[in-house]
Structure 1
Amino acid sequence: MPAEGAAEAVWAASDPYATALRTGRGPLYLRRTDGWLLPLEVERWCAGADDVDRAVLDRCEGAVLDVGCGPGRLVAELAAQGRTVLGVDVSEAAVTRTITVGGQALRRSVFDPLPGEGRWGTVLLMDGNIGIGGDPAILLHRMAQLLAPGGLLIAETAPLDVEEHADVQVVAHGREAAGAPFPWVRIGTPALLRLAERAAGWRAEAQWTAGDRRFVALRTRTTSSSAEPPKSTAVISSQRAR
């Protein structure tokens, strides 16, 4: 597994995360090393797709790859519509739940070889998954490899104009964190659009707000699988978690 995927083992082995997905309940947080907590919306993730989700899915084109699919609500919704869709997640509990609710999913890192590379019509990075690996430039490069020419990336962004890089751990309220810290990033719409403008092969398609959630759609100009991946500006010892 490449360096970008090393932290997946940390996330996948996190007992609080697996327990939360199996039970469908939190509370669950990402905790920074300074003690700050980012709540994770376990109950929403484990419920069916809501109106905001369905509006996002209406924008999807062609076959859809849901990266960091979690318990599978989006995969199941698209499958119920007769769409071609696959979820990818490093958590065994997430993959199991996705299959249980009627979707197809693989337990695999997004940085590992995946089916249909270069042919997906849409890739989803929902529920904060733009934070995967702690370096959105590297993640955008990987997304371009997965998408067909002119393919669509839909990412859910942070509600503020922020680009915050931090090492975090998964923790349930009142319990010790499980596993070693791993890199994560919260990035808002303006910062992501600036990054995409600097990155080769992307153009902004749309941005919108629904309730308290923010989204960005980017479209590939060309495939970039042969391009040199961007150099990380951070010192990252492990780079991947849902």
Structure 2
Amino acid sequence: MSTAHDLTEERAATAWDTAPAPWQTGDPYSEALRAGRGPLFLERSDGWLLPLDVERWCAAADPVDLAVLDRCEGAVLDVGCGPGRLVAALVARRRRTLGIDVSEAAVAHTVRHGGRALRRSVFEPLPGEGGWDTALLMDGNVGIGGDPRALLERLAALLAPGGLLIAETAPVDIDERVHVQVVQLAAAHRIAGTPFPWARLGTPALLRHADATGWHAVDQWSDGGRRFVALRT
């Protein structure tokens, strides 16, 4: 790992790049992160709701998370880091780590808790491209961008040759690409964010897309009701 090590602490902790993003200050997701609780959902256009586990995301890394982090190698890029529980846990292990997220509130939360993070989309230029040893796609972040193959191709470009990707998949066999919005439903009121493209993938679907984009699976497992896949370029 070399180029990722050139990232300065000042840059990682304070960058607030103003790229357009659906999750802006004042939206339901940002407000839930500030409060540390939901109820918060992803809502499809047909009204179907997927609960978002805000309380777990805002807490410290749990035993399932820590078991995933035990598998990480070298310098770690946490894609869609959210409020930064994994970044903070990796920093506590003295692991070179960067979180990226399009949400200003998520980046701020990560930095406040001792992590390094940038407000950045994974599809924008990033520090250390081609040099990261491990990338994480946790908490459903295989859905980022709504195009799994484009996301996998982008991650291959970010990782060093032979780099490791650990992805959390849906607990059911699904391969879905939709537009969703973050909604808060409480006390008879509904607050909705801006729609954006998203995908939901179970393990079989992720393995199919991985095979089509030049990745190979090295492991898959379940833990605490959650499912994971490890891939290499």
Measure how far apart 1:76 and its partner are. 0.2
2:41 aligned with 1:29: yes
Say what the alpha-carbon RMSD is for the aligned residues.
1.3
Matched residue, 2:179: 167
Q: Distance in 2 between matches of 1:203 and 1:25?
A: 37
Contact 2:184 2:192 (C-alpha < 8 Å) held by counterparts: no
Cα deviation per residue 1:135-192 (whole Å; 9 max; x = unaligned)? 1000000000100000000000000011111111100014434343211111000111
- Distance in 1 of aligned mates of 2:200 and 2:20: 18
Alignment of 1:141 onto 2:153: yes
d(CA) in 2 for partners of 1:55, 1:81: 13
Alignment check: 8 A CA contact 2:80 2:137 kept: yes
List aligned pairs for 1:1-242, cutoff 5 A: 9-13=21-25, 15-174=27-186, 175-200=189-214, 202-220=215-233
How far does residue 8 in structure 1 lie from its aligned partner after superposition? 5.8
For the residues of structure 2 that align with 1:89 and 1:198, how far apart are their CA atoms? 26
Aligned-residue offset at 1:12: 3.0
In 2: Cα distance, 1:132 partner to 1:163 partner: 13
* Counterpart Cα distance in 1 of 2:25 and 2:34: 14
Q: Is the 8 A contact 1:64 1:85 kept in 2?
A: yes
SS at 1:173's partner residue? strand
Q: TM-score, normalised by structure 2?
A: 0.89
Q: Distance in 2 between matches of 1:90 and 1:131?
A: 14
- TM-score using structure 1 length: 0.85
Once residues 203 and 185 of structure 1 are traced to their aligned partners in structure 2, the CA distance between those partners, rounded to angstroms, is 21
- 1:145 counterpart SS class: helix
Partner Cα separation in structure 2 for residue 196 and residue 108 of structure 1:
24
For the residue of structure 1 that corresponds to 2:154, the secondary structure is helix
Residues 107-136 of structure 1: CA deviation (Å, up to 9, x unaligned): 111111100000000000000000000010
Displacement after TM superposition at 1:11 (Å): 2.1
Deviation >4 Å, runs of 4+: none
Structure 2 Cα separation of the partners of residues 184 and 166 of structure 1: 6
CA distance in 2, matches of 1:171, 1:14: 12
- Percent identity (aligned): 70
8 Å Cα contact 2:38-2:55 kept in structure 1: yes
Conserved? CA contact 1:156–1:216, under 8 Å:
yes
Preserved CA contact (<8 Å) 1:169 1:177: no
Q: Which amino acid aligns with 1:211?
A: G
- What's the secondary structure of 2:195's corresponding residue? strand
AA at the equivalent of 2:159: L
Q: 2: distance between equivalents of 1:194 and 1:14? A: 38
Could you tell me which runs of 5 or more consecutive residues in structure 2 were left unpaired when the two chains were aligned: 1-18
Higher relative contact order (CA 8 A, sep 6+): 1
Q: Kindly indicate whether the alpha-carbon contact (under 8 Å) linking 2:142 and 2:148 is maintained by their aligned counterparts in 1.
A: yes
Give the length in aligned residue pairs: 213
